[in-house]
């Protein structure tokens, strides 16, 4: 799987479970009846577990927090995406220069 965000590589080792979500609110009224507010608009969100031996990959992605960009997954492009904070990373063994990180994206659809 080849993934980039705003032209920067995202070194994916595992794609997490894809969850499809849409706005939905269920309210129980005083009468005991159920009132539903829902929308067929689906939320696009993806999370990836990643590995890199180049810390600049992580620092470049950290610099993109709060900025909109195009997420490309293989040959599919998704515009108006954002990195969902926090972007979590850790060095596998101190001083090894080998890092894992978990990154999530969501698409702005308004």
Element (H, E) at 59: helix 55-62
Element (H, E) at 55: helix 55-62
Q: Is the pTM of this model over 0.85?
A: no
DSSP 43: B
Mean pLDDT (the chain, rounded): 93
Q: Is residue 16 pLDDT above 90, yes or no?
A: no
Helix, strand and coil in the chain, % to nearest 5? 5, 50, 40
Torsion region of 41: left, alpha or beta (phi above 0 gives left; psi -120 to 50 gives alpha): beta
Q: Which tops the pLDDT comparison, 40 or 65?
A: 65
Residue 55 sits at φ, ψ, to 5 deg, of -60, -25
| pLDDT tens, residue by residue, 51-80 | 999 999 999 999 999 999 999 999 999 999
pLDDT confidence bin for 27, thresholds 50/70/90: very high
Looking at 7-21, 47-61, 68-82, 92-106, which range is the least confident one? 7-21
């Amino acid at each position: 799987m080849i993934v980039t965000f705003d032209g920067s590589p995202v070194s994916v080792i595992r794609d997490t479970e894809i969850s499809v979500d849409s706005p939905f609110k269920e309210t129980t009224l005083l009468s005991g009846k159920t009132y539903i507010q829902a929308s067929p608009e689906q939320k696009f969100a993806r999370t990836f577990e990643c590995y890199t031996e180049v810390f600049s990959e992580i620092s470049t992605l950290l610099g993109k927090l709060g900025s909109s960009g195009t997420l490309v997954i293989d040959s599919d492009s998704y515009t108006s995406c954002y990195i969902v904070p926090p972007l979590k990373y850790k060095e596998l063994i101190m001083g090894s220069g080998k890092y894992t990180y978990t990154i999530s994206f969501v698409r702005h659809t308004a």
